Structure 1
């Protein structure tokens, strides 16, 4: 069972990361899939997406949940039936979930690739104060943070450039602060990030400030 990493953020919040090394049949073992899960897998043309989907269900099992405990609202945001908060991500050979009993949370994993420099202008504005298009690793951190903010806020019309801000950070700090400014709403998020095997993972937790 390739549970790659467990991060205990707090007593109420935990991150689980899976490295996908198994076949689809192996990933299906020991988990009970709902009819909806089976239908979704059948509709996926990419084996990478199928494995990502199944590995997330394996992570749910490790966290003490079944596939039936997970549902999505009209905005596409995942929830757990017991009221705990959850966010989900997968990229190539890694998948992850973050679960919190109290805090609103978001998580994202991305592979570090040079092509992020080409699309940086689509999600970076304020952050150009402290990075450039050549800062691939930092750009990937910023992208992961903004994806995580988008997942937790889950509001139609939200823009990475217009409505999110990542406070300056250094890669060795492994953390920073993220802000969402959307219409009359201003929300602050604690941010943590890590790098492994050419991938970046970031997760955000809403603060009370």
Structure 2
């Protein structure tokens, strides 16, 4: 079974992590033609991207069915944020080499990211993190990966362009755990950052 992790959170969010193990022909057989048309698939140039797209739609459909949500496909808004067609449920998705992550909530915006900690993450440290965040990360690669994914998840939750990852997305260690803060002219809120380790990957989400 491709489902590697599934969770209903206290916040009301539902999370699914799907392992990418199925072949294209199998994925195609699981999706109605209305979900991904031939014209949409033809726009995807590389086989890897096509497989990623198909896998994500199958995973989203699986979670939607579990929640008794009618799945009519996924579109993107004017900011490039994906949304579920014909439903008010909020959604966010993440892709990695081996996994697809999906989070849904009936009415609150959500964000999710999954990454495998890699040493190349150190190269972008000064571009994405404040001095206090760099100090909090120290020399711990797993903490760096969590911070990386936390900022990605916050960005996806906010869902609009024009975000500076250093100035507008802040991370704070608190007695309640890691907190994320989005500081924009039209939006200023704090969000809990939650995580789960899945094999060599770290899944991070926020509501």
SS of the residue corresponding to residue 92 of structure 1 reads coil
Query: 1:34-45 maps to which residues of 2 (within 5 A)?
Result: 34=34, 37-45=37-45
Please report the TM-score for the alignment, with normalisation by the length of structure 2: 0.87
Greater mean alpha carbon deviation, residues 4-13 or residues 149-158: 4-13
Equivalent position SS for 2:30:
coil
- Work out whether 1:15 is the aligned partner of 2:21: no
8 Å CA contact 2:89, 2:104 repeated in 1: yes
Query: How much has 1:40 moved relative to structure 2?
Result: 3.6
Aligned-pair distance for 1:168? 2.2
Q: What is the 5 A alignment of 1:167-186?
A: 167-168=172-173, 175-183=177-185, 185-186=187-188
How many Å apart are 1:61 and its aligned residue? 2.0
Gaps of 5+ in 1: none
1:60 Cα offset (Å): 2.0
Looking at structure 1, the residues matched to 127 and 110 of structure 2 have their Cα atoms a distance apart, in angstroms, of: 24
| Unpaired segments ≥5 residues, structure 2 | none
Greater CA deviation, 27-36 or 180-189? Answer: 27-36
- Alpha-carbon RMSD: 2.2
1:128-155 CA-to-partner distances (Å, cap 9, x unmatched) read 23123x3221111111110011111122
Contact kept, 8 Å, 1:33 with 1:67, in 2: the verdict is: no
Separation in 2 of the partners of 1:127 and 1:7?
Answer: 29
SS in 1 for 2:31: coil
Correspondences of 1:27-106 after superposition (within 5 Å):
27-34=27-34, 37-63=37-63, 64=65, 68-80=72-84, 81-106=86-111
Distance in 2 (alpha carbons) for counterparts of 1:11 and 1:184: 23
Does residue 135 of structure 2 align to residue 129 of structure 1?
Answer: yes
Judge conservation of contact 2:35–2:72 (CA < 8 Å) in 1. no
CA distance 1:179–1:11, shift in 2 (3 Å): closer
> Given the two structures, how large is their TM-score scaled by the length of structure 1?
0.86
- Distance in 1 between residues matched to 2:60 and 2:30, nearest whole Å: 12
Q: Distance in 2 between matches of 1:150 and 1:38?
A: 31
Q: In the TM superposition, what whole-angstrom CA distance separates every residue of 1:114-140 from its partner, at most 9, and x where no partner exists?
A: 1001111111113123123x3221111
With over 3 angstroms needed to count, the CA separation of the structure-2 counterparts of 1:129 and 1:51, relative to structure 1, is same
